[in-house]
Structure 1
Amino acid sequence: MRNKAIPALICAALISGTAAFTGAAPASAASAYSASGDISEQLARIPGLTVVSVADKGGYPYYTLTLTQPVDHRHPGKGGTFQQRFTLWHKDAAKPMVLYTGGYTLATSTREITTLLDSNQVSVEHRFFAESRPAEVDWKDLTVWQEASDEHAIVTALKSIYTGKWLGTGASKGGMTQVYHERYYPHDLDAVVAYVAPDDANNKDDSGYEKFFRTVGTQECRDALNAVQREMLVRRPAMLQRFEATSAEQSLTFQYLGSADRAFEFSVLDQVWNFWQSGSAANCSTIPDAKTATDDELYTWSLGHGLSIYSDQGNGAEGTGPYYRQAAAQLGWADLKFKHLKDLRHYPDIYQPNSVLPADMRTSYNGQAISSTDRWVSTSGRQMMFIYGQNDPWSAERFKPSKHDSALYEAPGSNHGALISKLTPEDRAAAEATVKRWAGQ
């Protein structure tokens, strides 16, 4: 189940990797701003683009911008418009440009390949997240093609200024977003570097995820985690009491899921996934003995190691609800079997994205766009690089690059924060050289 930990992970810039590379020394703030005047004027001349603000970032101008986008790119004159937020870190119009989306709200971090290439960077807020939405949202317009078309409009507008190579990048849902952009508009970008991007090409087949949880880490660690997860449900009354107390302290409610008990079970089901997503094998030594741990020890450890609370406050339209809507409609989800919990589950059909959504955002699934993208990447995609983490559950079902100057690398021991800088020295050198070549350096 894709969960609310992902936006926090990405937006906190866990995958920024800025310390891994040494870029060219920035110009002084004074010289950067003196050079930015012409860029400001050029930006102001782009139809539909608004310069909201400009600040300093590392001695270079950092613009916050909006672009007027049609709600429906298929019928741009009929469905109204919205203002899509994005930022521009300007260094030199002739340098490469990195186009980044986190797949959620507007992220401000400097990306790994931006530092490697000493490039400009554009960061885009995904349509219908945060401020990038119309006053009245029709959720049927939240599709991967519509967002790809949003980004196409931004790229088209800015290419009138930035003449160097363009590389798309993103992590997790942001990596998926860049892949879909490349699929629908293959001439926009010169290359794509996607980090830990899941590819749920067949939503009915979760064998890749099931295999991951049978093989990740050591048998001892897997058994200990499963035992803790099971014990949380064995002791449901005591754990639910603590879960409700934590929720009350944080003023959390569970109208979408239906009850605190349903929310508790949902959160327990996600616990092991979250443990591996953001933790590491080193955390295995902290796992308590499920049989001998006290109720407080069991709950406290779980709360700090993967027990996320799925509440109305985090999962509605103003939070990560747009992501769950996309998962329910197109992206898919991991419907794990949880055989070791079968006799303890009260709600066997709860582990799917519609469960955490308000009624007006729920929908039925159509995976045609995702499966066709999967085939396109493996047969026709060009200059695409995929970085995955060995111990990351999101990396269990992954894109398979074609033979057209494309590559896949796995960072040993890494979780959902896998980076080029975390690859083996040999793979890192090869990946960096490829990215630089794609950027014309």
Structure 2
Amino acid sequence: MVKKLTTLLAALAAAVTLAPAATAAPAPGDIAEALKHIPGLTVVSEDPAPAGFRFFHLTFTQPADHRDPRAGTFEQRYTLLHRDFAAPTVAYTSGYNMNDRASRSEVTQIVNGNQLSMEYRYFSPSRPAKTDWAKQLTIWQAAADEHRAVQALKAIYPGKWLATGASKGGMTATYYRRFFPHDVDGTVPYVAPNDVINEHDSYNRFLARVGNDPACRAALKAVQRDVLKRRDEFGALAAREAAEKKYTFTTVGSIDIAIELTVIDSYWAFWQYQKQADCATVPAAGSPAQVIYDWYDRVESLVTYADQALEGYVPYYYQASVQLGSPESYDSYLQDLIRYPGKNVSSTFVPKSIKMPPFDHFAMPDIDFWVRTQGDQLLYIYGENDPWGAERFAPSRHRDTALYTVPGGNHGAKIAQLPAAQAADATAMVRRWAGLPPVAGALTQASPPAGFPDFDADPLVVQKPRL
């Protein structure tokens, strides 16, 4: 059935006309002049960039619905980091909002290329004025956005193209390649979850044995139980912070619900963002409330699920509720303290004003089947201790693909953190896809790109949502 569905969806995607922007004039010597010739593209500003690069904020006119021209258009935000017309170009997305800085993804560093970065549709302000979430916010529509933009920019960047992204961006890069397999010459998704069967997964089994220290897992669970037993103390601290920041909790229902959901998620969040060595920072159960509260601020703030904090991530939670799927709630050891069973699901974080269609049980199996059987030039990077890697993509080993896991790595895993031989092999693979010769060794964390900020330090690169 899955095979038939894959064939059907592929035929449907091929049948839809996605007219890319008209071919631009031959690229002149100046990138700013070249960008003017691309229909639908607007240069909003040019900002300072490190030596040898130019950096532009752009908008690109996209159909609100690639299958229905009558639905109108919207302006999608992009940035362009330009180095050379002849250099390889990397299509990057976080799967969320735009990263506004002139920074380079690891793949862009490896190939020393140009980088076109996109804001995912429905993340403000890249949203149609008249919304239709069910029709317009799907993985196919987002892939079609990237397809049109890449095809338009190929008019001035005729060389090799790669696609990349981390977390939801890695998922986005995979979906883009599945629906438009010939757009780019290689795809490098980082820490990309693959929740094939919603609400029936292996995340909880992973969390039960994550890390190499049972005492750390026990300490995390103990402090969770401690907070839920002392709700009044922690509720008062959270209420004080919420009042100072003018936070409300209408979407989840109350500040008490928000605290409970945060406490449940904190175990996951610790392993997603912290390292094994950070086990030493876990406060003992019974510690002063302020000490534990401050620790939660570093791991998973107890006011994380305020309306104002959730607002920017609603498109993600919507997609998790209708197509992407989401992990089970890891909370069996907290059941005697939980007041709101069944509340820790992605739909809880979507305002009731947004109507959601039934869950699409075919979307993720279709992607998974394509990666396993047809996907080529795919390189997946995961972190050993990252819960999102519990259900990962599994590309065929016979189609110029690879999968590497960073030992002890978290949700920020990258090629430079791999053992030296694996990092060198992965680097060589990426450069080969980009039409470049191999280099000695690989990028290391000790050698950041000159003039650029730390890409992984940007909060829009490593995303906040646990779900």
TM-score where L is the length of structure 1: 0.88
> What's the CA shift for 1:306?
2.6
One of 321, 330, 342 as aligned partner of 2:335:
342
- CA distance in structure 2 between the aligned counterparts of 1:367 and 1:110, rounded to whole angstroms: 35
| Cα contact 1:51–1:63 (8 A) shared by 2 | yes
CA deviation vs aligned residue, 1:296-344 (integer Å, no higher than 9, x gap) = 333332333333521111223xx11111111111111112241110111
Q: 2: distance between equivalents of 1:273 and 1:392?
A: 9
1:37 Cα shift? 5.1
Distance 1:286 1:215 in 2: 17
* Distance change >3 Å, CA 36–CA 349, structure 1 → 2: farther
1:397 equivalent in structure 2: 391
Aligned residue pairs, count: 403
**RMSD after superposition:** 1.5
Residue 254, structure 1, aligned to residue 246, structure 2: no
Residue 147 of structure 1 and its aligned partner are, at CA, apart by 0.4
Q: List gaps (5 residues or longer) in structure 2.
A: 1-26, 437-467
Shift of 1:88: 1.2
The answer (yes or no) to whether the contact 1:50–1:66 under 8 Å persists in 2 is yes
Q: Does residue 211 of structure 2 align to residue 219 of structure 1?
A: no
Partner of 1:320: 313
Which residue identity does 1:46 align to in structure 2?
A: I
Task: Point out where structure 1 has 5 or more consecutive residues left out of the alignment.
Answer: 1-34
Task: Specify whether residues 362 and 263 from structure 1 end up closer, same or farther in structure 2 by C-alpha distance, changes over 3 A only.
Answer: farther
State how far apart, in whole Å, the 1-side matches of 2:110 and 2:434 are: 10
Deviates more, 1:205-214 or 1:372-381: 205-214
Aligned counterpart in structure 1 of residue 373 of structure 2, from 360, 374, 379: 379
Between stretches 157-166 and 200-209, larger displacement belongs to: 200-209
Whether 1:67 and 2:60 are equivalent positions in the alignment is yes
Which letter does structure 2 place at the counterpart of 1:289? A
**Does the 8 A contact of 1:209 with 1:397 survive in 2?**
no
| Match in the other structure for 2:34 | 42
Structure-2 residue corresponding to 1:153: 148
Extract structure 1 runs of 4+ deviating beyond 4 A.
Answer: none
CA deviation string 1:53-100 (max 9, x = no partner): 22331132212111111000011x210100111111111111100110
Match of 2:11 in 1: none
- Using the aligned pairs only, state the percent identity: 46
Of 87, 93, 99, 1:95 maps to 87
Q: Secondary structure at the match of 1:346?
A: coil
Contact 1:392/1:415, CA 8 A, preserved across alignment: yes
* 1:81-160 matched pairs, under 5 angstroms: 81-107=73-99, 108=101, 109-140=103-134, 141-160=136-155
State the Cα distance separating 1:421 from its structure 2 match: 0.3
What does residue 28 of structure 1 align with?
none
User: Retained in 2: the 8 A contact 1:170–1:194?
Assistant: yes
Partners of 1:357 and 1:119 lie apart in 2 by 38
Residue 435 (1) aligns with residue 430 (2): yes
Map 1:28-39 → 2, pairs under 5 A: 38-39=30-31
Work out which of the residue numbers 39, 48, 61 in structure 2 matches 1:56. 48
Distance 2:355 2:234 in 1: 29
Distance (whole Å) between structure 2 residues aligned to residue 257 and residue 210 of structure 1 = 27
1:375-404 Cα offsets, whole Å, 9 max, x none, are 110111000000001111112111111120
In the alignment, what sits opposite 2:364?
370
Confirm or deny: 8 A CA contact 1:314 1:321 kept in the other structure.
no
Contact 2:203 2:387 in 1 (8 A): no
Kept in 2: contact 1:198–1:399 (CA 8 A): yes
TM-score for both structures, normalised by structure 2: 0.83
User: What's the offset of the Cα at 1:240?
Assistant: 1.5
State the distance in 2 between where 1:192 and 1:86 align: 19
